[in-house]
Structure 1
Amino acid sequence: MQVFTEFIKSDLSEDQLLPVLRQLLPVLLNILGEPDQHSALSRARTISVFRQCVESLYMVKDQYPDAVKEATATVLPVWLSAFQTLLNVAPRSDVENTPNWDGLAIRIQIFKTLDIMQTSFPRALTPFLKEFLRTALEHLSALYPTFAHFYLQSAASVPDSSEDETIELTHLVCPMLDFVASVARSGKAKDWFEGTNLAGLISGVFSWVQMTSEDEEEWANNANAFVAQESDDTLSYSVRMAGFDLLAVLVERAPVASLVNFQNATQRVIAESEQARNSGSQDWWRALEASLAAIGSQAEDVLDVIDDERDSGRTPPIDIVSLLTNVIPNYLVLSQFPFLQGRAFVFASQYAKLLPEQLAGQYLNAAVQVLEAAEAGIPVKVSAVKAIHNFCQNIDDAVAVPLAPRIAKDIGPFLPVTSEDTLTLVLETLAAVLQIDEGKWITEDLARSLVVAVLDVWMKNNKDPIFISILTDVLESLASSPAPGIYQTVVQQALPVLCNAIMSSSAVDSWIAGAAIDLVSSLVSGAPESGLGEGFFAMLAPSLFSCLRTTEDRDVIQNGIACLTLLIRKDINQVVSWSDPATGQSGLDLILEVIAKQLQSEDESGGLVIGDLIIHLLRRAGDAVLPVLPQLLQAMITRMRTAKTATFLQSLIIPFAFLIYNQRDTILSLLEGINIDGRSGLDILIQTWCENAETFQGFWPSRISALALSSLFASERPSLQNLMVKGDIIVKPETKNAPTEFTSIPFPVKALKLLVHELQSGGESAAMGFNSADLADLDSDDGDEEWTEEERANQGFKADELAFLSDMLGPRGMAFDNDDALEEDDDEDLKNDPVSTMDMQAHLVSFLKECAARNTNNFSAIVDQLNPDEILVVRKAVSGQ
């Protein structure tokens, strides 16, 4: 069977697949239906082969639509009927009074296959859906006593299979929950997910996500494993993760009804747990911990539902406040049950927004006390750190400030003794603590000790990008503290160490230099508005420029250029006034050397980074850059002729746009004087600009381009009027396969076209977004017949979900106009620049009106050369419509 699986997956060509399946599937079905002649494991493997067949059919459905439709219509229902029959056999028969659990293997393979079919051929599955959902719910109920006996109580060992492999209950429950979640997410069988079914499903999940005795043993001794299972991006899939995923889908699809069942299930668990505790059970806490973990896993959505219901004047469907006030405090002191104690802290922190200030302060103080308690074990201490992280993000600074110094001091010692996921949690918590009240409470001694600890962590983990990312946040938070003397203390402690790392790293360990430069950038980002402080650039420059001069590592170069850009933005005076004692070169000379090296490089991957550097140098350096400006512009024009990528071309064009907007005639004269192989610099720039203007990424670049183009249009300079540039595509239906041809039009016409395009997009860069062509409703087996009208109108999503995806993805998969998606996300200079804040649409309309009134550049004749749509836009703008 394994050979068949691999054979179908790898060795069959598309045209061989269907004939082979016609011969193979009936034979497999016969084996599956003969329990007296074939073992359960052999029969289970036939389902595994069938599942691979389904996946292969799905892969070729576009190439062979008719044959695949025939196969799905004739073959799939037969197998689904067989699955139905097999699942209707009582599941306990596979785990009770039997030497092994081989029979579970068949159920495992069935639910794995159903999950695949729900994704690939949902329409074939639709007639059977409710029956399979019913059997899934029955399995959860029927098999739970076995789960409790073997996994929660460890009263016996799970038997080996007849082939000496362990078949676990979890192997069945995970794909079963995945299947139910997939159906719920699709919006199908909606009426099944109501009433007693929904109640049973949620109650079942609450039971099955309990911590097993094996989990307890591992997590009690392995902090990283304990933290990892709590992580949103955990790679260790489990019943708990599958259960939480199903709960998330249910809350999304039926928020109020789901939370009513959360409330009911929790009240039942609290009562049953108390009863079990009073009767002497040592496992009474497990169901409580699981229920709190389940509700906590959905905290964000639960809080949203509570807010929505309150805003609508209705009573929230779940009373979290009562839990936080009357129930959870009782568990905070149960040190003999560390997992429940820790869960209580984490749960309270997840719903901290609902806590009154006084109670929030008491919870936070209790978590700090646990952190400081010598006798507390791993689960409780890790939970306390997690809770503190959540509290710092979810409660008012006024509540957290009194405890902030103490928390930071307590967390510091964890840094050198933790690793992996635990270290990540500790660092993220420290980063959150340092942001409380902008770090005004930080003392010099605390800052010094934290910097030492942070650098120690970095030296041990300088290859890990996740750690480096968090460490840069921590250093920036420390450096940006407005408390007296903190910035200077942090720089004095960190900068010499980082400069030494940059200078001493070699090509073999270049990542050390790259990470060190990142950390230096975090110091620069955190520097006060008054500047970097005396001697900062003088200490950094020799190592930074030496590294950029010698390294060939792309990431190090980009990190270094980004750091230089920050230095220019923060304190251009230090950069301009410094000179290298060894060579006499100024800081400006060395930056131009870096730019020249990048312009000469064939590697264009850092296009936007070098463009940022040039822009900020021109914006900040002022007259200091004038002596070297002709040399810089000639180098950029020269490179423009061979540049290939859109981002690199943008990095060369936008600085010219900025200069032209501010010093048009001076720059145009310089460009006219540049001659490269018989072409003027102006000709090269304008041709390249016109071909790439509509691909510019980012808010500020697109705007400065439009402003500069309008300035060029208004200049009426003969050298511009006589330039011919690439216009519109020439459509020739009879020569469909011929190379694309374009018209040739005067520059003023092209400039006006680009300005009209900018005006049509509302004064922003055009966002193409989703449209009917992108999301065509293909005639496929998507099974959308049960979608609501809202979902049908929005490709299976709710309107707000589609809007979110549209905003996130933007045009053709990237939000080109979303500042947060590009390099400007932290660039306050450009966000606050007048170019970013002006009313661009009003400016463009005013510009067109003025051109029409003055007939600038023979405006009326140029307008006549536009296409009809463009002419209409201009006329509306000029007439004020």
Structure 2
Amino acid sequence: MRFHESRELKEAGSADWWRLHEASLFALGSLSEQLCEAQDSGLTKYNVRDLLEQMLIDIMGTGVHQYPFLHARAFSSVAKFSSLISKGVSEQYLCNAAHAIASDVPPPVKVGACRALAQLLPESNQNLIQPNIMGILSSLVDLLRQASDETLHLVLETLQSAIKSGGEQSTLIEPVISPIILDVWAQHIADPFISIDAVEVLEAIKNAPGCLQPLVSRILPTIGSILVKPKVQPDGLVAGSLDLLTMVLKNAPVAVVKAVFDTCFVSTVQIVLESDDHGEMQNATECLAAFISGGRQELLVWGGEQGQTLKMLLDAASRLLDPALESSVSLFVGSFVLQLILQIPLHLSPHIPDLIAAIMRRMQTSSIAGLKSSLIVIIARLVHMSAPNVDGFINLLLSIPAQGYDNSLVYIMSEWSQLQGEIQGAYQIKVTTTALALLISTRHPELSKVEVQGHLIKTSAGITTRSKARVTPDQWTKIPLPVKIFSLLADTLTEIQEQIGAGDDDDSEEDNDWEEVQNGDASISDDIIHSASVPSMTNPSVEHLNAMAKVFDEDDDDSYDDDLTKNDPLNEVKLADFLTNIFANLWENNRPIFEYLCQGLSDSQRSAVEKVLRR
């Protein structure tokens, strides 16, 4: 191996021995992920750990000024193989890295040392770190002042790790670090990567013990003056300020939210109402969602005049749902409106008809599936909000007109049934799936009158080219809405069982009831439900399955890490149990409809439903 060759060259007195040593580390580093996995699983016959540690220990005895690139490579290798090398070697290199950034060593060594610190600090023994953390922070601040555009990202990343590892000692350096980071943020506001890095460092400072209040006091006056005169600010500064403000509001105590509200709330709403800048409006929308999430109902009385704050929030929602706006401007309106529903439902209730009408108009003029999906989540959450009077919500949709459709129910359910498989996010999937179950459980007679997209009709054989697709667009069957919903719920149940490995039942077994369903029942009246074709069996996307995996991992307390929705009671719903109850209740209380709906299921869907009914 090249490493052994480098040792032989070193013993022979060659001045270039280090090149082979450094090249060997580079080669190992390029395969770090694969080597770590192989070592952990025992799939490799070579002991990578021993080889790597031998190479790293050999470097410790050499001069950093004489072999700067070798030492830089060693630090980088420690960062890549931190999970593999022993605690002793890691701690030694952690100390060496801390010493390197404080010393007069060549720039490549400091770059490598920063990489090592960024990786090792969060993993290291706090008893080892704490005595040295002030020195590390001071050295990183000095490096930050000297950093070039090429190294700024790395220094900020390392500083963030150091602050998170500093504990209470970070408080002592907050007056020094915060102004410098704010200056970096302001100077690089047009660079999204650096400005985001700076905000993340400020967030680490905010979360450090004792740093929140002084940081907010430092930020608010400047941000407030920027937002009150947005039209005279440099490009990107207003949007960046709103992003910074959202970070401050995230998980902040009510007293801090109130202080930010007093300084910046009105200006934020005005930006939503008056700005034409997409970035400003998007960030202002997220900021308003954070205001509502942090202030909750108390926020409504902070504005002074009764009802003024609610009016401003509703005006902002109206602007963001304006169908004349470009769709990209409204991308985050879903999170904003969702917070209105979750935090101030009683105050929002009288405005729900107007809200639904605005949502529908926004959906009809949007070609962005992500925006439509986020608005469907809002409709789904309103379904839950209407429980137990879901029939009343359906009647409300029937009463709201929709351009080109009989009513809002027809339009919304046509879109929802098509997009359900594309909805992403653990919370979003749970809300929409359970809402569909609530809708079908009403057995409202108007649902069966709505026909939605079923399965794709294959009109010709062979490959479909772009030109052929333009001439002959895809054609789909039309099926009754309850059939589609039943199929979507069965799809979800199938995915749940695949994720959790539910049941050891023999899938080939069919009880008599299911044989009747599979063979059909000629006595079922067409009056029960309109005739149906087989529903679409479109497979969910990989992203959807990944999101579903999060939903079904119900024992993981971190499954729902979205700060804006973590307190929604729907997070406590066990989706598998919920769907089981839905299918069981329909089976027990309305067997004819259940059996008719089952005729449209695929074999895998039918098997999934059968499993839960046999329990």
TM-score, normalised by the number of residues in structure 1: 0.56
In 2, Cα distance between equivalents of 1:391 and 1:817: 33
- Counterpart of 1:599, as a letter, is L
In 1, Cα distance between equivalents of 2:280 and 2:548: 23
Alpha-carbon distance, 1:272 to partner: 1.2
In 2, Cα distance between equivalents of 1:871 and 1:271: 66
The 3 A distance-change label for structure 1 pair 355 and 402 is farther
In 2, Cα distance between equivalents of 1:361 and 1:861: 66
**Structure 2 residue 155 is matched with structure 1 residue 426:** yes
Deviations 1:492-529 (CA, angstroms, capped at 9, x unpaired): 1123223333344438844221222222222223x446
In 2, Cα distance between equivalents of 1:875 and 1:389: 50
Q: SS at 2:543's partner residue? A: coil
**Structure 2 residue 494 is matched with structure 1 residue 760:** yes
Alpha-carbon distance, 1:743 to partner: 4.7
**Structure 2 residue 139 is matched with structure 1 residue 413:** no
| Equivalent residue, structure 1, for 2:357 | 634
Alpha-carbon distance, 1:718 to partner: 3.7
| Equivalent residue, structure 1, for 2:394 | 668
The 3 A distance-change label for structure 1 pair 645 and 383 is closer
| Equivalent residue, structure 2, for 1:25 | none
Alpha-carbon distance, 1:452 to partner: 0.5
Deviations 1:525-575 (CA, angstroms, capped at 9, x unpaired): 3x4466745412222213322222222222222222222223333332453
Out of 526, 551, 561, the residue aligned to residue 275 of structure 2 is: 551
Deviations 1:472-506 (CA, angstroms, capped at 9, x unpaired): 2111111112x1x3111111112322333334443
The 3 A distance-change label for structure 1 pair 870 and 380 is closer
The 3 A distance-change label for structure 1 pair 348 and 700 is closer
Q: 1:480–1:528: 8 Å Cα contact kept in structure 2?
A: no
> How do residues 480-499 of structure 1 correspond to structure 2 at under 5 angstroms?
480-481=207-208, 483=209, 485-499=210-224
In 1, Cα distance between equivalents of 2:85 and 2:220: 42
| Equivalent residue, structure 2, for 1:440 | 167
Alpha-carbon distance, 1:453 to partner: 0.7
In 1, Cα distance between equivalents of 2:422 and 2:605: 23
**Structure 2 residue 52 is matched with structure 1 residue 323:** no
- Counterpart of 2:346, as a letter, is D
- Counterpart of 2:312, as a letter, is L
| Equivalent residue, structure 2, for 1:266 | 3
| Equivalent residue, structure 2, for 1:385 | 114
Q: SS at 1:590's partner residue? A: helix
The 3 A distance-change label for structure 1 pair 441 and 323 is farther
Q: SS at 1:440's partner residue? A: helix
In 1, Cα distance between equivalents of 2:82 and 2:600: 60
Number of residue pairs matched by the alignment? 557
Gaps of 5+ in 2: 462-467, 500-537, 551-558
Deviations 1:284-313 (CA, angstroms, capped at 9, x unpaired): 54444444444444444444444344x889
Q: 1:342–1:380: 8 Å Cα contact kept in structure 2?
A: yes
Q: 1:607–1:651: 8 Å Cα contact kept in structure 2?
A: no
| Equivalent residue, structure 1, for 2:65 | 335
Name whichever of 403-412 and 678-687 sits farther off: 678-687
Q: SS at 1:463's partner residue? A: coil
The 3 A distance-change label for structure 1 pair 308 and 850 is closer
The 3 A distance-change label for structure 1 pair 607 and 694 is farther
In 2, Cα distance between equivalents of 1:405 and 1:762: 49
**Structure 2 residue 586 is matched with structure 1 residue 851:** yes
Deviations 1:419-443 (CA, angstroms, capped at 9, x unpaired): 211111111111121222xx52344
- Counterpart of 1:372, as a letter, is A
Alpha-carbon distance, 1:819 to partner: 4.3
The 3 A distance-change label for structure 1 pair 536 and 695 is same
Out of 164, 189, 197, the residue aligned to residue 462 of structure 1 is: 189
- Counterpart of 2:593, as a letter, is F
In 2, Cα distance between equivalents of 1:641 and 1:711: 25
| Equivalent residue, structure 1, for 2:339 | 616
Q: SS at 2:151's partner residue? A: helix
Gaps of 5+ in 1: 1-260, 766-809
Q: SS at 2:276's partner residue? A: coil
- Counterpart of 2:296, as a letter, is I
The 3 A distance-change label for structure 1 pair 847 and 867 is closer
In 2, Cα distance between equivalents of 1:705 and 1:752: 13
Alpha-carbon distance, 1:266 to partner: 1.1
**Structure 2 residue 483 is matched with structure 1 residue 749:** yes
**Structure 2 residue 553 is matched with structure 1 residue 816:** no
> How do residues 827-838 of structure 1 correspond to structure 2 at under 5 angstroms?
827-828=562-563, 830=565, 835-836=570-571, 838=573
Q: Supply the RMSD in Å over aligned alpha carbons.
A: 3.8
Q: 2:73–2:112: 8 Å Cα contact kept in structure 1?
A: yes
In 2, Cα distance between equivalents of 1:818 and 1:837: 20
Tell me which structure has the larger Cα radius of gyration.
1
Alpha-carbon distance, 1:350 to partner: 4.4
Q: 2:6–2:17: 8 Å Cα contact kept in structure 1?
A: no
Q: 1:863–1:871: 8 Å Cα contact kept in structure 2?
A: no
| Equivalent residue, structure 1, for 2:576 | 841
The 3 A distance-change label for structure 1 pair 408 and 585 is farther
- Counterpart of 1:322, as a letter, is Q
In 2, Cα distance between equivalents of 1:593 and 1:349: 50
Q: SS at 2:65's partner residue? A: coil
Alpha-carbon distance, 1:462 to partner: 1.0
Q: 2:285–2:336: 8 Å Cα contact kept in structure 1?
A: yes
Alpha-carbon distance, 1:745 to partner: 4.2
| Equivalent residue, structure 1, for 2:12 | 275
| Equivalent residue, structure 1, for 2:40 | 307
In 1, Cα distance between equivalents of 2:544 and 2:334: 16
Q: SS at 1:420's partner residue? A: coil
Q: 2:297–2:343: 8 Å Cα contact kept in structure 1?
A: no
**Structure 2 residue 102 is matched with structure 1 residue 372:** yes
| Equivalent residue, structure 1, for 2:285 | 561
The 3 A distance-change label for structure 1 pair 818 and 405 is farther
**Structure 2 residue 177 is matched with structure 1 residue 450:** yes
| Equivalent residue, structure 1, for 2:522 | none
Q: 1:498–1:516: 8 Å Cα contact kept in structure 2?
A: yes
- Counterpart of 2:489, as a letter, is L
- Counterpart of 1:323, as a letter, is M
Q: 2:226–2:233: 8 Å Cα contact kept in structure 1?
A: no
| Equivalent residue, structure 2, for 1:645 | 368
The 3 A distance-change label for structure 1 pair 813 and 398 is farther
Q: 1:607–1:647: 8 Å Cα contact kept in structure 2?
A: no
| Equivalent residue, structure 1, for 2:553 | none
The 3 A distance-change label for structure 1 pair 518 and 317 is closer
Q: SS at 1:548's partner residue? A: helix
In 2, Cα distance between equivalents of 1:509 and 1:851: 60
Q: 1:578–1:586: 8 Å Cα contact kept in structure 2?
A: no
Alpha-carbon distance, 1:650 to partner: 1.8
In 2, Cα distance between equivalents of 1:878 and 1:297: 49
In 1, Cα distance between equivalents of 2:154 and 2:363: 46
The 3 A distance-change label for structure 1 pair 339 and 643 is closer
Alpha-carbon distance, 1:744 to partner: 4.6
Q: 2:49–2:84: 8 Å Cα contact kept in structure 1?
A: no
Aligned identity (percent) is 24
| Equivalent residue, structure 2, for 1:400 | 129
The 3 A distance-change label for structure 1 pair 714 and 516 is same
In 1, Cα distance between equivalents of 2:73 and 2:474: 64
Q: SS at 2:332's partner residue? A: helix
Name whichever of 515-524 and 375-384 sits farther off: 375-384
The 3 A distance-change label for structure 1 pair 631 and 321 is same
In 2, Cα distance between equivalents of 1:347 and 1:872: 53
Q: 1:427–1:470: 8 Å Cα contact kept in structure 2?
A: yes
Greater RCO structure (CA 8 Å; 6+ sep): 2
Deviations 1:615-655 (CA, angstroms, capped at 9, x unpaired): 23212223232243333223223334444332222222221
